[in-house]
Chains A and B, each alone.
Chain A
Amino acid sequence: MKESNQHIIKVEKIRVSQGSKIVLRDIDMLIEDKEVIALFGPSGHGKAIMLRAFNRLFNQDLSYKITGEIFLDNESTANMSVVKLRQNIGMVFSAPNLFSMSIYENLALGLRLNRITDVRTIHQRIRHALMEIHLWDKFHKRLQEPIDALSVEEQQLLCLARALILKPKVILMDKSTSCLNSSAKSRFERLIFELKQKYTIIVTVEDREQAGRISDKVAFFYKGQLVEYGQTKHIFTHPKEALTESYITGRIN
């Protein structure tokens, strides 16, 4: 019991299936507070599904079934309401998905959906979130502008701000840098490094190099199974499993 108190997220025997096909098999993980965890592995082997299992955000049409339990601060997420769960676990997607309204409306929407309608609180939260990602100076006079004129990088950063406004404990990022060019990507990665001081961040990454750059711990997924999970340094230099080694060295893709 004492051990579980240090962990913000505890994953117990998560199994996800779609029809008769099993997508994830019996995953166990312990995630500590204020760390960057990178889920990596070949594409289509269950990283993104694992990420979405944290906030239960599955496409309803694809009818995924999920068994097992995830604990957030020793509280089972299965019993938590979806609103409370997603307030605590924010998410940024692979491409910017702002709504076609003004910047202010976009950022305030998360608060309005959670029934916070006081204008002063909304303004304060927006200011705080934009300052965290160093965009307040750039945007504080442009909040009423539509989002169409913004670049992809700015839009993706605003998506991050939209998630930060709800003051989450955990942030999920589903290949968030895949839409950015190389310089914007490095800026975004630096931002992840800064946000680590306040939030636990779980990311899925496009390649092994990025996992090495940004994460404290990595989890290697292969064919729906968690092959290896541990410190990044350790796994990249002395992997225990042969499968991990062959993926890191590029023998399997």
Chain B
Amino acid sequence: MSKIYQYGYKLIPFYFVILSLLCVGLYWFSYPIFEYVTLNNYIVNAPQYLTFYSNEAYSGFNLITGLFLIFIVGIHFALIIGGSLSIYWSEFTHSKTRQKGFNLIEILVNIPFVVYGYLLLRLASELMHLDAGIFRNLLILSLTLGGMILPKLIYKIISILQSVPYNQREGAYSLGASRYRTAIMVLIPSQIKLFIAAIINIIARAFSEILIVLLLAGFTTDIVEVIVTIIIISVISTTLSQWLKKSHKKNERV
């Protein structure tokens, strides 16, 4: 196994050659379609993806850029609100209050993202009077994405901030830092790797959960079906995680 680590890098050029051959092959096999549409039209204008709510169609380019935009705006929304809330919660409150609140957030975190997502989507579209085309408004979608990852994000940021010992905070306070500046200039930079990992983890989980629900509920908007699938998923995932934890503990004892 160690030889693979030692000499594996010599295989990298071959890997790229195979990859480029594959690309050429794919283009070769799919060439006939470009007799009807140009490549530019295929990427930008071709009607490939139908939306669920209307009969209009969008190309792959629109879909990807739209997703990217939703992602960026949603993350910013979540980080600004969730970050400030969790810094307040972990730095400015008394330890007893903090512990009680932490237990409350723990309950909220165990509810799947999709529940928040559905509720927020409904709420936002009601408030903005956009019943007809809710899925076409990128702002609502990005706010929904940001809002539904909020509880998990707050939970993660608080637990990361709390994992820094008081000793280090004291060091920053003794240099004349306020609590807010301690959090911004000391705690977050020293734990930045954990923060990035947590955010990526949360986003990935949110996307995967939505996709699972979409797949199992079969692209329906029937609330009953969606709720039933959510319950099934949560039961399965909690039992799985419990079982995993138990087996992990057993291994530890040995």
- Chain A residues with CB under 8 Å of chain B are 55, 57, 59-61, 82-87, 90-91, 93, 95, 97-101, 105, 109-110, 112-114, 159, 162-163, 166
With the chains together, A83 CA to B182 CA distance in Å? 12
Shortest C-beta distance, A137 to chain B (Å), equals: 25
Contact, CB under 8 Å: A112 / B174: no
Q: Which residues of B contact A112 (CB under 8 A)?
A: 185
Answer whether A91 and B186 are a contact pair too, CB < 8 Å, given A61-B94, A99-B168, A113-B181.
Answer: no
Shortest C-beta distance, A176 to chain B (Å), equals: 12
Q: At the interface, yes or no: B95 with Cβ under 8 Å from chain A?
A: yes
10 contacts between A and B (CB under 8 A): A57-B173, A91-B174, A97-B167, A99-B168, A99-B186, A100-B190, A109-B172, A109-B185, A112-B185, A159-B171
Shortest C-beta distance, A88 to chain B (Å), equals: 9
Apart from the given pairs A57-B173, A99-B171, A101-B190, 4 other A-B contacts in the complex at a CB distance below 8 Å:
A85-B176, A99-B172, A99-B190, A100-B190
Q: Which residues of A contact B175 (CB under 8 A)?
A: 86, 109-110, 113-114, 162-163, 166
Interface contacts (Cβ under 8 Å), in number, total 63
With the chains together, A158 CA to B180 CA distance in Å? 24
- Chain B residues with CB under 8 Å of chain A are 94-95, 166-168, 170-178, 181, 185-186, 189-190
Interface of A is mostly: helix
Q: Which residues of B contact A60 (CB under 8 A)?
A: 94
Q: Which residues of B contact A114 (CB under 8 A)?
A: 175-176
Shortest C-beta distance, B57 to chain A (Å), equals: 51
With the chains together, A114 CA to B171 CA distance in Å? 14
Shortest C-beta distance, B40 to chain A (Å), equals: 48
Interface of B is mostly: helix
Question: Which of the residues A57, A84, A101, A109 comes within 8 Å of B170, measured between beta carbons?
Answer: A57
With the chains together, A90 CA to B173 CA distance in Å? 10
Answer whether A113 and B95 are a contact pair too, CB < 8 Å, given A59-B166, A93-B167, A100-B190.
Answer: no
